[in-house]
Amino acid sequence: MQGTSTTTGALPRHVAIIMDGNGRWAKARGLPRTAGHRKGIEAVRRTVEAARELGIPYLTMFGFSSENWRRPEGEIFDLMQLLRFYLRSEIAELHKNGVRLRVIGDRSRLSADIVTMIEKAEELTSGNQALNLVIALSYGARQEIVGAARRIARDVLEGRLSPEDITEESFAANLLTRDIPDPDLLVRTSGEQRISNFLLWQSAYTELVFVDTLWPDFTKRDLEDAIREFNQRDRRYGAVGTR
């Protein structure tokens, strides 16, 4: 997509991003996949700063899926090392800039030291309001939905909830994103056009924008272009359109 360096129209309240293309970026340059992941961290930094500058309240980034655990052991090790590096090197800067960090996903599969770093980062930044940054790690939407159903079934079984009281709202209250608004805009990089088990419940009425840019090359301009595309959509939510 082409565009200018500024956006017009309403900003989405919540932007979600599937960061795809690190491996292809590295392969095109004859580099190991780890080089692409390292370059991808720079794109994360740029995008977080761009979202904060634009005034987007919520940004969710798909960092590591539940399916990614199937990758080669060496690549998983490198990704976890990069995660440790990010948590050590970026949290102070995020805190200084008023960014609140939250992590959603299955923490039981993460190393204890990573979980500790996540907990400390969440606690440190819990009062910040400039931007809510949500990182999805060891996350799968189907697993999240099953977990919510299991918690509701337990409440029914133990008499805390009747089946008649189960609503969309009560179900959503059992998801990992219970206090986070649904995304208005979901962006996927690298030209792939699928959402890969990411925020399935929450994206029921989300506008999807697919861009060809590989994630390590993603810039503020790409984000602005996606927002311009978003503002050209007629969001009807099942009603009659206005255009």
139, 108 Cβ separation under 8 angstroms: no
Cα distances (angstroms) measured from residue 151 to each of 103, 191, 231 = 20, 37, 37
Question: Which residue in 20, 78, 222, 225 is the catalytic one?
Answer: 20
Q: Which residues are annotated as a binding site for substrate?
A: 21-25, 33, 37, 65-67, 69, 71, 188, 194-196
Binding residues for Mg(2+): 20, 207
| Candidates 68, 97, 128, 174; catalytic one | 68
pLDDT at 18 over 50: yes
Report the pLDDT value the prediction gives residue 174, as an integer from 0 to 100.
97
- The whole-number average pLDDT for the span 57-78 is 94
Residue 231 a catalytic site member: no
- pLDDT tens digits along 189-210: 999 999 999 999 999 999 999 9
pLDDT tier at 7, thresholds 50, 70, 90: low
Instruction: Give the C-alpha separation, 121 to 98, whole Å.
Output: 13
Instruction: Give residues with Cβ within 8 angstroms of 108, minimum separation 6.
Output: none
Residue 240's pLDDT band, with cuts at 50, 70 and 90, is low
DSSP letter (8 states) at residue 72: -
Any bridge partners for residue 91, and if so which?
Answer: none
The per-residue pLDDT for 10 is 87
pLDDT of 5: 44
State percent of the chain over pLDDT 90: 91
Q: What is the mean pLDDT of residues 23-46?
A: 96
pLDDT at 123 over 60: yes
The percent of residues above 70 in pLDDT, for the chain, comes to 93
Query: What is the reported pLDDT for 236?
Result: 66
Task: Please give the residue that has the higher pLDDT: either 72 or 4.
Answer: 72
Q: Which is more confidently placed, 7 or 169?
A: 169
What is the band of 179 on the pLDDT scale with cuts at 50, 70, 90?
very high
CATH class in words for 14-140+183-231 = alpha beta
Annotated binding site: 20-25, 33, 37, 65-67, 69, 71, 188, 194-196, 207
Calculate mean pLDDT across residues 29-47.
Answer: 96
Calculate Rg over the CA atoms of the chain.
19
pLDDT of residue 234: 79
Q: State how beta strands 58-65 and 207-210 pair.
A: unpaired
- Residue 2: the pLDDT is 38
Average pLDDT, the chain: 93
225 catalytically annotated: no
Question: What is the per-residue burial (b if ≥16 Cβ within 10 Å, else e) of 156-184?
Answer: eeeeebeeeebeeeeeeebbbbeebebbb
Residue 46 scores a pLDDT above 60: yes
Q: Is the CB of residue 48 less than 8 Å from the CB of residue 221?
A: no
